[in-house]
Chain A
């Protein structure tokens, strides 16, 4: 991946990955945000709505200009106002757990180890209030959606 020309770099796209389980109430908030953002049809932004982060995403990460992971989180990881968008370290210390699914840190490590490139990456976490069986978000998590989507818009470059 080293030695990429400026033109080639500019052709790289941003990648948004929302993941979770749509049958577990607020665990599906990452999927929902991804589906909403996909509806924006923004040029240069590829959107994935998937149940788990899987190792074969690593080459797609390595090819992306920037990556935004979107997931649900417990309150401890998501203080007020109930969502957080932060840049991830390019290299997490120590090997990250990886099986049929992976964490953002493990995928970034995998992209770097196998393909020699880690894109700058961010993570948007939205507070989940219930992981019980159900296809609808709780009202409390649903109320966080407008702000979370606005944060994604700013990440994408909206004023």
Chain B
């Protein structure tokens, strides 16, 4: 008969989820699945609100990446107003997004994932956390905190002290950057770069040594990759064009400009599949269908789709990444390295922005009424491409909202990753009564496959209408042994 192993909850990710691993009668892994049991339903909550409130509402969806929703909502609002925002406003939004990428990636690498790398996959789980990391390498732990503090401080100086700054608004931003704040940011850059460089050197040494197997079997498979690119195919996080490539690097479809991306274009590009076993949807490239059209987003995807980053130190690291993994890197484990490279890129991009005399201009907002009834806003969240799609009435009240979230777009890739890991490690274990004995360290590797994607479930769990959670236990002949629905 088939057996199912549950890992519940998955630790060191945002939100509550479980993984099921399905074994056949011989104990071999058939497949593994990531299930999200939280339902948020924020899209329905937004209906009837003025579109001008969407930035502040959606920023409160998630305490982890509020800036991402703030910017996507503001950009969607720009499209509803049909305005071009002032140059300083675009630079300031970019600055905030770069700070968001830094603080989010820093926590993912330094505090959520590095305990596995530095303390070992099979180390005592009671110690395999940030406190164990502090004991083993307090400087690294402190550096991670300082890096995250830096990112948060930049966000605070731009948007106010609170984590959910309603600072980016349709048409621009509410307030300009003060020269004193610009100078403070500049004064902290060199320390942040040094911390990042140290982490990069450490992680590359680990990749060449104790982590060489993980890089090969943690979700290494061909897939599509999607992300934004700027002029000349440069690394992009805020605007530019939407690019979708395959594992050979070939364009899958013509690039789409994000400014003025229409609902019709988005609908032709992406569709969303649902599965009753999870609240997390499965977006895919529509013309190829749910399987062949599945794609990855996030730091690794952004580095795969771009031609170059456009900043000296980060470009050297990108070249090394490609020497390590090919022009298109397919190992999900290298999301961790991509995260560090993006931190470096973000720090260099901030330095370049600070040198721009237009950054502190005081004209930061364009004003207009509702000039369009439907719009799509796109930006890059730390975890990947984020789409907001609103339809409004003539008074600007929201009639319909759809949010396509990075974690959902990586859903199928997460399932493939944990299936590959489970097949590699669980089959290799000793068997008891025909079922492999599962050591805790092996289960940790499966969980770590999910952590490669740094999923955040706060905003990613939504569905079209009500979708109850459905759990089924299936026997070897396909018979239904048990099922349970949760409303």
Which positions in A face B, CB cutoff 8 Å? 21-23, 48-52, 54-56, 58-59, 94-95, 97-101, 109-110, 113-114, 133
Q: Quick check: is B149 within 8 A (CB to CB) of the other chain?
A: yes
| Residue among B13, B57, B138, B149 making CB contact with A56, cutoff 8 Å | B149
Instruction: Report how many A-B pairs have Cβ atoms within 8 Å.
Output: 85
Contact A133 B41, beta carbon cutoff 8 Å: yes
Give residues 103-121 of B contacting A (CB, 8 Å). Answer: 103-104, 107, 111-112
Can you report 16 residue pairs joining A to B where beta carbons are below 8 Å apart? A21-B63, A23-B60, A50-B63, A50-B162, A51-B163, A51-B164, A52-B163, A55-B130, A56-B149, A95-B132, A97-B11, A98-B129, A99-B112, A110-B131, A113-B135, A114-B134
Q: Which residues of B contact A58 (CB under 8 A)?
A: 145
Q: Which residues of B contact A49 (CB under 8 A)?
A: 162
Q: With A and B bound together, what is the CA distance between A121 and B164 in angstroms? A: 25
| Residue among A50, A52, A59, A99 making CB contact with B145, cutoff 8 Å | A59
Contact B126 A100, beta carbon cutoff 8 Å: no
Chain A min CB distance to B165 (Å): 12
Contacts A58-B145, A99-B13 known; list 5 others, CB within 8 Å: A59-B149, A95-B126, A95-B131, A110-B131, A114-B145
Q: Quick check: is B141 within 8 A (CB to CB) of the other chain?
A: yes
Q: Which of A48, A56, A100 has the most CB of B within 10 A?
A: A100
Give residues 23-61 of B contacting A (CB, 8 Å). Answer: 41-42, 44-45, 57, 60-61
> Closest 7 interchain pairs by CB?
A51-B63, A52-B63, A95-B131, A56-B149, A113-B134, A56-B148, A133-B45
Contact A55 B148, beta carbon cutoff 8 Å: yes
Q: Which residues of A contact B13 (CB under 8 A)?
A: 99
Q: Quick check: is B253 within 8 A (CB to CB) of the other chain?
A: no
* Residues 199-232 of chain B, each 1 if its beta carbon lies under 8 Å from chain A, else 0: 0000000000000000000000000000000000
Q: With A and B bound together, what is the CA distance between A114 and B135 in angstroms? A: 9
Contact B63 A113, beta carbon cutoff 8 Å: no
Q: Which residues of B contact A133 (CB under 8 A)?
A: 41-42, 44-45
Q: With A and B bound together, what is the CA distance between A51 and B60 in angstroms? A: 8
Q: Quick check: is B127 within 8 A (CB to CB) of the other chain?
A: yes
Contact B61 A23, beta carbon cutoff 8 Å: yes
Contact B142 A114, beta carbon cutoff 8 Å: yes
Chain B min CB distance to A58 (Å): 6
Q: With A and B bound together, what is the CA distance between A136 and B295 in angstroms? A: 40
Chain B min CB distance to A54 (Å): 8
Known A-B contacts A23-B60, A101-B63, A114-B134; the reply to A94 vs B126 at CB < 8 A is yes
Q: Which residues of A contact B145 (CB under 8 A)?
A: 55-56, 58-59, 114
Closest to B103 in A: A56
Q: With A and B bound together, what is the CA distance between A22 and B104 in angstroms? A: 22
Q: With A and B bound together, what is the CA distance between A22 and B107 in angstroms? A: 24
Known A-B contacts A100-B64, A100-B456, A114-B138; the reply to A23 vs B45 at CB < 8 A is yes
Contact A22 B60, beta carbon cutoff 8 Å: yes
Give residues 58-114 of B contacting A (CB, 8 Å). Answer: 60-61, 63-64, 66, 103-104, 107, 111-112
Chain B min CB distance to A57 (Å): 9
Q: Quick check: is B409 within 8 A (CB to CB) of the other chain?
A: no
Q: With A and B bound together, what is the CA distance between A21 and B57 in angstroms? A: 11
Q: With A and B bound together, what is the CA distance between A21 and B130 in angstroms? A: 25
Chain A min CB distance to B451 (Å): 10
Closest to A98 in B: B130
Q: With A and B bound together, what is the CA distance between A55 and B112 in angstroms? A: 11
Q: Quick check: is B14 within 8 A (CB to CB) of the other chain?
A: yes
Q: Which of A54, A58, A99 has the most CB of B within 10 A?
A: A99
Closest to B13 in A: A99
Contact A110 B149, beta carbon cutoff 8 Å: no
Closest to A28 in B: B60
* Residues 1-28 of chain B, each 1 if its beta carbon lies under 8 Å from chain A, else 0: 0000000000111100000000000000
Known A-B contacts A55-B148, A99-B14; the reply to A109 vs B131 at CB < 8 A is yes
Q: Quick check: is B161 within 8 A (CB to CB) of the other chain?
A: yes
Chain B min CB distance to A64 (Å): 15
Q: Which residues of A contact B64 (CB under 8 A)?
A: 52, 100-101
Contact A50 B163, beta carbon cutoff 8 Å: yes
Q: Which residues of B contact A98 (CB under 8 A)?
A: 111, 129-131
